[in-house]
Chain A
Amino acid sequence: MKQRSVAVVGAAETTRLGKIPELSVIGLHADAALNALADAGLKPANIDGVATAGESPTAIAHYLGITPTWVDGTQVGGCSFMLHVRHAAAAINEGLCKTVLITHGESGRSRVGGGSGFGARGGASLMGQFEAPFGVTSPPTMFTIPALRYMKTYGVTEEDLAMVAVIQREWAAKNPRASYREPITVDDVLNSPMIAWPFRMLMCCLVTDGGGALILTSAEHARDFPTRPVYILGTGESVETPMVSQMEDFTTSKAFRVSGKKAFDEAGIGHADVDHLMIYDAFAHLPLYGLEDLGFCKPGEAATFIRERNTAEGGRLPLNTNGGGLSYMHSGMYGMYALQESVRQMRGIAPAQITDAKIAVSHGVGGMFGASGTIIFTNEA
């Protein structure tokens, strides 16, 4: 920690303490947050970092109307907020964000509203009240909802969605560890069982078991290790909303755009510099949104870009070369596997290795377009 480099400029508790039956847990977070903002003379729009425990930082940011470039949901119990202060200081010093809001709220006595940490769909959470009653179940009935608006806006067809799965299967065929390697056609995809129209089974990710781990150290120290170091060139993150129905625009992800731009700005590279790309593909529309929101394609042009084989073997932007969540594996939080493939490509050891690849972008999604993280790697010191 750099001494005296970061200061507290706003601090407040909830308007009342004791018994507050008129506010739910997220309401207590918000009440304290609005008081701290008033104490600092700030508006929610002035905040670009959010840390919280109990609630998800995505829920807090969206509830307050904040578009962050840094969040921290570290939950280790009662001291979580001390850790948030420390992590926030590091983030501010590193330029990931400028002004951090750390919130807490608990209805310990009145028990109103319960917690709604990541993915919570309890009846009193916002998702529980305003999405669950309409029959949403798992991601295939939530993540998919924006797609039809995107398809109508840009004239994207079911065949286009199918082509995403077809080309990723081509990559998977080259990967001995991929779950599915048999070639498929657009017709195979369009004849696979209907899950949630317009999504067929082969447009949805696998459900498998697995895990992954990464070890990081300083660039200086990295030279002492037996493997080729893979350096971090740029990073980005953002969150939009825990409720897919409340996305600002169903044809584009704000979290993707904010996260991607921050990572490219930090890395100081252009799109033409990217040799290899991973876009978390829980469903076939994700690579389309990713290509456009990261700036590789103009809005509405990603389906054509894929159909013309730019992301396939021999194309100028190899994408999801492990086969992706659609064909490689997907255990539930696939971001780790996207990172693993980026690292393999940068080390030069991937089954479908891109020759002389020097810069790799790994772009992930969390929740249903709820959150996003982007990591840009290079193998050049």
Chain B
Amino acid sequence: MDRVLPQPTPETQHFWEGCKAGELRLQRCTLCRHSYFPPRPFCPACGSRSVEVYAASGRATLYSYVINHRPRPDMGKEPHSIAVVTLEEGPRMMTNIVGCPQTPEALQLDMPVVVSFEMFGDIALPLFMPAEG
């Protein structure tokens, strides 16, 4: 079964194009400097429409997660993490932690992780893996 995928909208296009280009794109307010996610064409902190897109570092830490023992059909048959990471720039996003055993021992809160884009059809999903060293 094919992976359930996002349908980008005009307001989120830059994010998904960034993923395909290997770049995690966030937005920030040019007035109050607040960085935010998910994408929208105005600042949720102050309401200003003066916002810009920029490339985030891709570095994050593991904020919280579950290990789903009843995976959705498109997610395979093995238990897998559904995680939320805190990006170095502040915003949080949902993801999967990949490239390590899907166990409580291997998945420690606050561990450093880095973004790793994985192509599914025409979409690159931002997944995260444990950071080297």
Contacts and interface: CB of A to CB of B under 8 A. Distances in A.
Are these two chains actual partners, yes or no?
A: yes
Interface of A: 21-24, 27, 30, 34, 37, 43-45, 62-65, 112-113, 122-124, 126, 128-137, 140-141, 144-149, 152, 193-199, 243, 245-246, 250
19 contacts: A24-B9, A30-B41, A62-B44, A63-B40, A65-B44, A124-B7, A128-B6, A133-B4, A133-B6, A133-B123, A133-B125, A135-B68, A136-B82, A144-B66, A145-B65, A148-B66, A148-B109, A149-B109, A246-B38
Given A30-B40, A64-B47, A22 B10 contact: yes
B67 to A, nearest CB: 4
Interface in B22-55: 37-38, 40-47, 49
Contacts of A43: 46-47
Nearest to B102: A197
Interface residues of B, number: 49
A146 B64 contact: yes
A24 B10 contact: yes
B56 interface: no
Given A65-B47, A193-B69, 17 more contacts: A22-B10, A34-B42, A34-B47, A65-B45, A123-B6, A130-B6, A130-B38, A133-B120, A135-B68, A135-B82, A137-B68, A141-B66, A141-B68, A147-B66, A196-B66, A196-B68, A197-B79
A124 B9 contact: yes
A44 B9 CA distance: 23
B29 to A, nearest CB: 11
B66 A199 contact: yes
A34 B94 contact: no
Count chain A CB atoms within 10 A of each CB in B7, B9, B63, B125 and give the residue with the most: B9
A199 B40 CA distance: 34
B131 interface: no
Contacts of B82: 134-136, 141, 145, 196
B71 interface: yes
Count chain B CB atoms within 10 A of each CB in A21, A130, A144, A243 and give the residue with the most: A130
B5 to A, nearest CB: 6
B8 interface: yes
A203 to B, nearest CB: 12
A26 to B, nearest CB: 8
Contacts of B42: 30, 34
Contacts of B69: 193-197
Nearest to B103: A197
Interface in B53-86: 63-72, 74-75, 79-80, 82-84
A129 B38 contact: yes
Nearest to A24: B9
A217 B92 CA distance: 45
A123 B94 CA distance: 15
